Structures are given as structure tokens and as C-alpha cells.
Structure 1
Amino acid sequence: MAESDGQEKTEDPTGKKLSDARKKGQVPRSKELGTAALLIMASSSLLFLGGYLADAFIVMMTDLFTFDRDTAFDPKQMEVMFATGIAEMLLPVAGILIILFCTGIIANIVIGGLNFSTEAMMPKFSKMSPLAGFKRMFGTQGMVELLKSILKVSVIGCGVWGILHVTFEDILNLSSTPLSASAPRSLDMLTWMFILLCFTLIVIVVVDVPYQLWNHNKQLKMTKQEVKDEHKDQDGKPEVKARIRRLQMEAAQRRMMGEIPDADVVVTNPTHFSVAIKYDSSRNGAPIVVAKGVDHIALKIREIAREYEVPVMRSPQLCRAIYHTTDLDKEIPSQLFVSVAQILAYIFQLEQFRKGKGKRPVALPAEFEMPDGFKY
């Protein structure tokens, strides 16, 4: 079916489309499956419980029509006999009704599953429109229902004719048979007639169930644009996602900049890269990277370091090696322990010298020798 924009519904429904349809009560259902299951189970119940039902019927009829003169003229006995007759039939009839009740529920949720929708219960004025009714009546669904009805009548009619043709003489002979024998016999014949007729409905079910599944999927098919719009709505618009990522990056940068005043040293490229390192002796681990950045962020790291008097050391190769190999809040690789340890030792000795507690430390080399795999 073409949409107003010219696109055809060629795409299978997405999970969200199916979920929304279920909320509206739009699930595949087969009335023919429910009807056939009920009738087949009813006939099967009569087959297995028919003898019990026939015996109860004979007892009930015997009790109701066997009485003396005093009972016939006693109004109270009428109520007692009626209650006794009902009690005789109650148990077998109740068993059959319970079986049919359970079958009706199960058969109707086999296709589409159990679904409860308050939205489907709400009245829709569009269904009250005569024009909409004519469209449904003469539309594709109406034609399908008409064809199913014709097929159903044809199949059941042929079945009835065949059964009556075979059992006609037996049915006539029942009138000359005593009640004790005719009741079970007639019920047995009725049961098998019922079973044969019910099984003819399987032909309708075999046609209807695949059609209902196909028609449900067809009604929910989507255009390519609808699929794209749904993905966009679920994933978020690109500009919104970009803004969220930008805000997340800004928040992460603020947290990172807040760690710089507690760093022990900032190693620089010195122009394009900056890495802030902190060593916590209580953790018994390697120094960790608390901040790192390039270009503008690298410059900002150096500005904050100078503002809070964090030592800034120039070591281009070591700075690049740490930047490319170590994530934030992670320990530096073991291959760089020696170089970083020399810088931290130099910073510590320099602080002691400024406090007058030691000698001026020997200046560090302009570059440290980087191991293979750490040269950037």
C-alpha cells in the first residue's frame, strides 16, 4: 500500500512497532482456531465422558419418572426429585464445561500470546461510521471472510451429508430400541458425528492461521523512512547526541583539571603535549596519570600547574610516550618506571634543597632513552 509520500511499506515491523501494536491490542488472532479447538475438545470430552454422562442421564430420567401415587400428589417431593436429577447431571456436565473453558483460553492465546490492552477496550467512533463499515465489508478482509465462510459451509455441508448418508438407518432404528440401550447408543453416534464434523474444521484452520500471521505482519509493515525515523527517535538526533558528548567531554575535562593541583609533576613536550603525574606512596603502586592533553588543553594544564606551583618538566619523548600509552587514572607502563622515577626523585631533591635540607640535585638529561615501542 502506498503512503502519502509515495513510499511503499516494504520493511518488516521493528520490535518497537510490534510492542506498540500489542499495547493497542493489535495481535494476530485466529477465530477459526479457537472455534475448531473448542468443538474438537467438546467432542473428545463427550467421547471420554459420554458413558458417564449417559449413565447419569439414565439415572436422572429413572428417578424423575419412577414414583408412586403419594409422591405425585406431594408438592414438596417435586422439588426434591428435581434437585436430585440436577445433582446427577451436575458432575459430568461441570467436567465438560471446565475442559471447554480452559480450551477456549488456551486456543485463543496460542497465536499472539496473552495480551491485555485497555486501549483496545476504549470505544472508537471511527468504527461506528457507516462509510468505514462499508469499506470493511467490501474490502480485502471482508472478501477473505466471505471466502472462509463459503469454504466452511461447503466443508461442513459435505461432512454432514456424508455422515447422515452412512448412519441414516441406524438413526431410524433407535426409535425401536429400549431406553437403556438407545441412550448410550445415540450418545455414541452423536459423539462420533460431532467428532467427524469438528475435524473437518481443521481444513479451515490450516488456511486461516498462516493467513492471519501474514496479514498481521502486512498491516504492521513500515516504509524505509519510518524505520529511519524510529531509529532516530530511539538513538536520539545527531545534533543532540553531539551536544551530549560535548557536555560529557567538558565535564570530564573539568574533573581532570581539578586533579592537576594535587599532581607531583607536569611533563611537557613542551608545546603540544602535557601530562600530569601523581605518585601516591600509600598505594604501593606506580605513578598514575591524572591529566593529559594536547594543544589548547596542554596549555591549560601548564597554566594550572604554574598557578598552583606544580613543577613543570620538559621531556618531549617521555611526555609523548606517556600520553600515547597511558589512560587517565591509570598507572604508567613499567617500561617507563625508571625515567619517571628519575623525574620524581629530582623534584623531591629540588624541594629539599630549597628548604635547605640537602644539596642541589644534578640536572636531568634533556631526553630519556625510550624503549622500543614507546618512541612517538
Structure 2
Amino acid sequence: MADAEGGEKTEEPTRKKLDDALKRGDVAKSQELNVWFGLAAATLTISVFGDGAVASLGQALLRFLESPQTIAVDGVSLRAMAGGLGLAVAAALALPMLLLALAAIAGNMVQHPPLVTAEPITPKLSKISPFAGFKRIFSAESLVNFTKGLVKIGIVGVVIWMVVWPERARVSALTASDVAAMLPVLKELTLRVLVASVAVFAVIAVGDYLWQRHRWRERLKMSLQEVRDEHKQQEGDPHVKARIRRIRQERSSKRMMAAVPSATVVIANPTHYAVALKYEAGMNAPLCVAKGVDALALRIRTLAEESGVAVVENPPLARSLHAVLEVDREIPAEHYKAVAEVIGFVMRRKTRR
């Protein structure tokens, strides 16, 4: 039981723990999912833009094959030729490269929202420590990653063999074909290999993402003591909160008692309730300056008598006012008549005196 409460991490991470991890850039991330997006984008690029890109590049390079002797080799001509060739290559590859870049971004965004943090690039001694590097290289995680790499290579090899082996006769015949006849066959085989790889890697990527997310949450698990400490930090120590509440009550009581001598009347139940009201010309309604029950009510009543403030015993009114009134608030309208009679009585008695 002591181990469970102390160091053993058995509790699911709290929302704050997860948010802190995200702020540090510590997220569940699967490289296999990025690879799958890259393969899917490459397959789409070759199938949609492959012919157009090859035709554009072929047109740009045709001059080098047909009439290389006409190419001027002086400085100005070479710069112009290099610039034109660069523009042609950029135009041919712009859309495919854009699609691959979007795939790389999408592979990260489907795993976690965009983050801006300097934590991963913050200099740390552990990153340059030979001992820490040795531990990372020969850790269980590195062994798992190495095994996964071998398994992936084996799966991809099997997929390529299953696609290419039945077409071995066509592939052998390509050696006697010209380039124009070779390209469509190579494109077809390449697309078939890529489509098969995308299908296989979809299963690998989903499985790896679920595994990485499981390991990430396991790594962020908390002990019971950590949960308690975090709760204290967020909600405050209960002992400190109780002490603050007690101090506030004491200060409020002192303010009330200081206001009792300025009251006009104290309406009391003989032993249980006391409500001190103040009324002056120009006020909308009498104001409650102090109230209390039992010992506090007795203190209010005693201080009022010592200060010459009238004390009127009216148990029903005292209980009713105490239930609905807050200190420094005016009495509600339904008590105007009853309170007015009491204050009128007090005023008349003062006038007679």
C-alpha cells in the first residue's frame, strides 16, 4: 500500500499533466504514420503527375540528347541554359513536391495539433552526455525500434517479391526494349508495388500509433502522491484554506463589532439571535451592520447596551431578519413595515428622553 501511494505510478495522468506534456512538446508520435502519408502521397504523385512531369523533363532535356553540339559553352550561355533548365525542372516538380510537403504536414497534424515550443531544442547536458547516449542506444526502446525496422524491411521485401515475381518475364524482356517501351511497364510495376506497400503500411501505421499512444500515457502515469500534490497546488492546501477562512471570519467579526455602536437599534431574540440595524435620514432603507447567533449574538447585544444602542426584543422579527439579511445590505421590502415600527418606537423613546 505504501508503494502504491509513494512511487508506483498507477493513476491515469490528469488533464494538467497532459497539458504540461503538450507544452513541452512531449506528444504521442508514430513515425510509421508519417511514412504511410509519404508513401500514399508518392503513389498519388506518380499516378497523377508522373506522365506530365516526365514529359516536361524530357522536353527540357531533349536538346542535350538530340543536338548537344549546338550548345554554347561560354559563360553567358551556360548561365542562361542552367537558369532555363532549373525553371523547367522546378515547374515539372512543383506540384509533386507540394503534394509531398502537404503529406508530411498532414502526417503530423493528424497525430497532434500544431505546437510552438522551444523545449526540444533547449540545450541539456543529458543530450551530450556519452553515458546518456549509451543508455539510449542500448535501451529496450532502441531494441524494439531495431526489431520493428527489420520486420518492416521483411514485409516490404515480401510485398515487392509478390508483385514483381509474377512479372519476371516482362521485366527480363525490358532489357531488349527501348526507353519509350520501358517507361510504361516500369511505371505500372512501381505503382503496383507502392499500392501494395500503402495497404500494408496502413495496418502497420495504425498499430504503431496506438502502441505509441499507449506507451505515452503509460509514461505520464502518476502516483497517488503526485495526484495529491497536484490537487493541492491547484486547489490549495485544505489546512491553509481553513486558516484563511478563519482569519477572514475573525476580521469580518471585528468589523461588525466595530459597527455596532453606530447602529440605531438591535433587534434580538433574548438568547439566540441579534441583528443590528442602522438608519439615518436620506437612506433608502435600514442597513444591517452586524448579525450573529448564540455567543456572537450575546456579544452584539452586550456591546449595544454598553454603547447606549437600543435593544428591542422581537424573536420572530430577529429570526426572520437573520435568515434573509447579509451584513452591509439593506433590509428587504417585505420587512419595511415591521422594522419601521421598531425604529419609530426607538425614535419616540429617544425623543421622550
Q: Structure 2: state its 5+ residue gaps.
A: none
Instruction: Report the equivalent of 2:39.
Output: 39
My pick for the range that moved more, 90-99 or 63-72, is 63-72
When residues 247 and 73 of structure 1 are mapped into structure 2, their CA distance, relative to the original with a 3 A threshold, is closer
Alignment of 1:138-177 (within 5 A): 138-177=138-177
Give the TM-score taking structure 1 as reference length: 0.80
Query: Given residue 37 of structure 1, which amino acid in structure 2 is its aligned partner?
Result: F
Instruction: Report the equivalent of 1:289.
Output: 288
Instruction: Report the equivalent of 1:323.
Output: 322
Q: Is the Cα–Cα contact under 8 Å of residues 63 and 81 in structure 1 kept in the other structure?
A: no
When residues 66 and 79 of structure 1 are mapped into structure 2, their CA distance, relative to the original with a 3 A threshold, is farther
Name the CA distance, whole Å, in 2 between partners of 1:134 and 1:311: 86
- How far does residue 158 in structure 1 lie from its aligned partner after superposition? 0.4
- How far does residue 304 in structure 1 lie from its aligned partner after superposition? 4.8
Alignment of 1:301-316 (within 5 A): 301-302=300-301, 304-306=303-305, 309-316=308-315
Query: Given residue 96 of structure 2, which amino acid in structure 1 is its aligned partner?
Result: I
RMSD, aligned α-carbons:
3.1
Instruction: Report the equivalent of 1:359.
Output: none
Instruction: Report the equivalent of 1:341.
Output: 340
SS, match of residue 115 in structure 1: coil
Instruction: Report the equivalent of 2:236.
Output: 236
When residues 307 and 99 of structure 1 are mapped into structure 2, their CA distance, relative to the original with a 3 A threshold, is farther
SS, match of residue 201 in structure 1: helix
- How far does residue 258 in structure 1 lie from its aligned partner after superposition? 5.0
The one-character-per-residue Cα deviations of 1:248-297 (angstroms, maximum 9, x if unpaired) are 22333344345445533111234443211234775655x44331013443
Query: Given residue 326 of structure 2, which amino acid in structure 1 is its aligned partner?
Result: D
Name the CA distance, whole Å, in 2 between partners of 1:34 and 1:265: 79
Name the CA distance, whole Å, in 2 between partners of 1:176 and 1:85: 31
Alignment of 1:98-177 (within 5 A): 98-177=98-177
Name the CA distance, whole Å, in 2 between partners of 1:87 and 1:116: 34
When residues 77 and 316 of structure 1 are mapped into structure 2, their CA distance, relative to the original with a 3 A threshold, is closer
Query: Given residue 209 of structure 2, which amino acid in structure 1 is its aligned partner?
Result: V
Instruction: Report the equivalent of 1:58.
Output: 58
Q: Is the Cα–Cα contact under 8 Å of residues 29 and 111 in structure 2 kept in the other structure?
A: yes
Name the CA distance, whole Å, in 2 between partners of 1:163 and 1:234: 59
Query: Given residue 315 of structure 1, which amino acid in structure 2 is its aligned partner?
Result: N
My pick for the range that moved more, 300-309 or 335-344, is 300-309
My pick for the range that moved more, 148-157 or 91-100, is 91-100
Name the CA distance, whole Å, in 2 between partners of 1:5 and 1:269: 52
Name the CA distance, whole Å, in 2 between partners of 1:330 and 1:68: 99
Name the CA distance, whole Å, in 2 between partners of 1:322 and 1:76: 101
Q: Is the Cα–Cα contact under 8 Å of residues 272 and 297 in structure 2 kept in the other structure?
A: yes
Name the CA distance, whole Å, in 1 between partners of 2:41 and 2:283: 74
When residues 83 and 129 of structure 1 are mapped into structure 2, their CA distance, relative to the original with a 3 A threshold, is closer
Instruction: Report the equivalent of 2:214.
Output: 214
Q: Is the Cα–Cα contact under 8 Å of residues 42 and 100 in structure 1 kept in the other structure?
A: yes
Instruction: Report the equivalent of 1:276.
Output: 276
My pick for the range that moved more, 26-35 or 208-217, is 26-35
Q: Is the Cα–Cα contact under 8 Å of residues 6 and 225 in structure 2 kept in the other structure?
A: no
When residues 228 and 107 of structure 1 are mapped into structure 2, their CA distance, relative to the original with a 3 A threshold, is same
- How far does residue 230 in structure 1 lie from its aligned partner after superposition? 1.6
My pick for the range that moved more, 157-166 or 329-338, is 329-338
Query: Given residue 321 of structure 1, which amino acid in structure 2 is its aligned partner?
Result: S
Q: Is the Cα–Cα contact under 8 Å of residues 29 and 111 in structure 1 kept in the other structure?
A: yes
When residues 88 and 118 of structure 1 are mapped into structure 2, their CA distance, relative to the original with a 3 A threshold, is closer
Instruction: Report the equivalent of 1:353.
Output: 352
- How far does residue 12 in structure 1 lie from its aligned partner after superposition? 0.1
Q: Is the Cα–Cα contact under 8 Å of residues 289 and 326 in structure 1 kept in the other structure?
A: yes
When residues 76 and 338 of structure 1 are mapped into structure 2, their CA distance, relative to the original with a 3 A threshold, is closer
My pick for the range that moved more, 329-338 or 101-110, is 329-338
Query: Given residue 312 of structure 2, which amino acid in structure 1 is its aligned partner?
Result: M
The one-character-per-residue Cα deviations of 1:166-206 (angstroms, maximum 9, x if unpaired) are 33333344444444454455345434433333433223212
Name the CA distance, whole Å, in 1 between partners of 2:284 and 2:5: 67
When residues 173 and 88 of structure 1 are mapped into structure 2, their CA distance, relative to the original with a 3 A threshold, is farther
Name the CA distance, whole Å, in 1 between partners of 2:92 and 2:236: 61
Query: Given residue 163 of structure 1, which amino acid in structure 2 is its aligned partner?
Result: V
Matched-pair identity in %: 34
My pick for the range that moved more, 302-311 or 198-207, is 302-311
- How far does residue 120 in structure 1 lie from its aligned partner after superposition? 2.5
SS, match of residue 28 in structure 1: coil
Q: Which has the higher contact order (CA 8 A, sep 6+)?
A: 2
Q: Is the Cα–Cα contact under 8 Å of residues 22 and 117 in structure 1 kept in the other structure?
A: no
Name the CA distance, whole Å, in 2 between partners of 1:351 and 1:325: 28
Residue 13 (str. 1) matches residue 39 (str. 2): no
Name the CA distance, whole Å, in 2 between partners of 1:185 and 1:57: 19
